Amino acid sequence: MKKGKLIVVSGPSGVGKDTVVSKYLEKHKEDELSISMTSRAIRNNEVDGVNYYFKTKEEFEEAIDNNELLEYAMYNGNYYGTPRKEVEKRINNGINVILVIEVVGAMNVKNMMKDDCTLIFILPPSMDELRERLINRGTDSMDSIDNRLDIARREIEVSEKYDFKIVNDDLDKAVNELENIIKNKIN
Ligand code: 5GP
């Protein structure tokens, strides 16, 4: 059986990457999202096991020690990581898997998987627009927003190392571009 594709999507916090990916997955139910593990606190609108597997710092560190994670990284003071087993099982069953992860984890996946993965970076139209979106989302304090914007500037520098870049200035257009990359541009 032909193996599934491993697709890594990154982009600054607030760029809308989760929305772009979920719209894409509504159209392509044959492809699947990897659900990450995190030690960050659950937000009001989130569900354990749907948005993330929410864990304590200690539980997360146990998963690291047991080699249960394909990759992990610290972001804004919390751990985030990709459960290895679920990804490997789906890929071996011919299912394309999308990881929506930050840049350190993405680079680690690239180093491990080489040409067996594709990295896609979603860019905001501008930094001002990104700031507006983070404020409007209303999930972070101003301190946390400033911190996320600092991280965003550094992430955008790393985006040079990605295979493809998409500017999210129009949601439908961004979804179409993602579709074109996954279905037509990679093997
Ligand atoms: P948030 O706190 O906004 O949900 O996520 C913060 C950042 O962590 C986002 O850039 C998100 O893509 C990233 N992230 C989510 N899951 C993972 C993961 O499993 N591994 C890594 N390296 N980053 C992740």
Give the position, in ligand 1's atom list, of the atom nearest the Cα of 36: 19
Lowest mean pLDDT among 20-29, 46-55, 145-154, 161-170: 145-154
Q: Does a structural domain hold residue 68?
A: yes
Average pLDDT along the chain:
96
pTM of the model: 0.94
CA of 102 to the centre of ligand 1 (A): 5
> Is the shortest distance between the CB of 34 and ligand 1 below 6 Å?
no
With a cut of 90, say whether residue 56 has pLDDT above it. Answer: yes
39 located within any domain? yes
Measured from the CB, is residue 134 less than 6 Å from ligand 1? no
Question: What are the structure tokens assigned to 116, written together?
Answer: 């067996």
Please give the single-letter amino acid code of residue 15.
Answer: V
Question: Is ligand 1 within 6 A of the CB of residue 168?
Answer: no
Q: From ligand 1's centre to the CA of 49, what distance in Å? A: 15
Distance CA 37, CA 86 (A): 12
Two structure tokens written together for 173:
């257009």
94 domain residue, yes or no:
yes
Q: Is residue 1 part of a domain?
A: no
Strand partners, 74: 79
Q: What is the CATH number of the domain that holds 76?
A: 3.40.50.300
Residue 98 beta carbon below 6 angstroms from any ligand 1 atom = no
Range of the domain at 62: 6-185
Measured from the CA of 18, which atom of ligand 1 is nearest? 12
Name every residue whose Cβ is closer than 8 Å to that of residue 5 and which is 6 or more positions away in sequence. 91, 96, 97, 117, 118, 182, 186, 187
Q: How confident is the model at residue 122 (pLDDT cuts 50, 70, 90)?
A: very high
Phi-psi region of 69 (alpha: psi -120 to 50; beta: other; left: phi over 0): beta
Looking at residues 155-172, what average pLDDT do you find?
97
Distance 1 CA to ligand 1 centre (A): 31
Give the total number of structural domains in the chain.
Answer: 1
Atom of ligand 1 nearest to the CA of 12: 10
